[in-house]
């Protein structure tokens, strides 16, 4: 869905320039909402660099899969978006539950 929209409106030559930053931001949000702990600055930088490398590898697999299947890409961006929504709902419910418990 997102892949087809970007392909139709921006072309194949801009695919990486658009999808990689979007996927990186969504992965960083998912990490922050679901898995991040309080870390020193240098360790946080290392974690985000490794996250960027991991998203790059996933993006390469995303491209290889769409080439191998004849243009049917994996829903990488859509999956990350759903993960972010679910984790945001979870964190919001957890926040309100803790707020009512402490009051």
Determine which helix (DSSP H) or strand (DSSP E) holds 19, and give its type and residue range: helix 15-34
Residues ≥6 apart with Cβ < 8 Å to 36: 47
Q: What is the pLDDT of residue 77?
A: 93
pLDDT in tens, the chain (103 residues): 888 899 899 988 998 999 999 999 999 999 999 988 899 999 999 999 999 999 999 999 988 888 888 877 888 999 999 999 999 999 999 999 999 998 7
CB atoms within 10 A of CB 92: 11
Question: DSSP state, 69?
Answer: T
This prediction's pTM: 0.87
Distance CA 30, CA 80 (A): 7
Q: What is the pLDDT of residue 30?
A: 96
What angle separates helix 15-34 from helix 41-68, to the nearest 10 degrees? 130
């Amino acid at each position: 869905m997102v892949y087809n929209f970007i392909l139709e409106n921006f072309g194949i030559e801009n695919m990486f320039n658009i999808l990689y930053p979007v996927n990186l931001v969504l992965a960083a949000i998912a990490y922050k909402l679901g898995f991040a702990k309080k870390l020193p600055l240098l360790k946080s930088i290392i974690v985000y660099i490794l996250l960027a490398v991991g998203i790059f590898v996933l993006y390469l697999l995303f491209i290889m899969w769409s080439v191998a299947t004849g243009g049917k890409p994996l829903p990488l961006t859509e999956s990350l978006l759903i993960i972010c929504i679910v984790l945001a709902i979870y964190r919001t419910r957890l926040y309100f539950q803790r707020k009512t418990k402490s009051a």
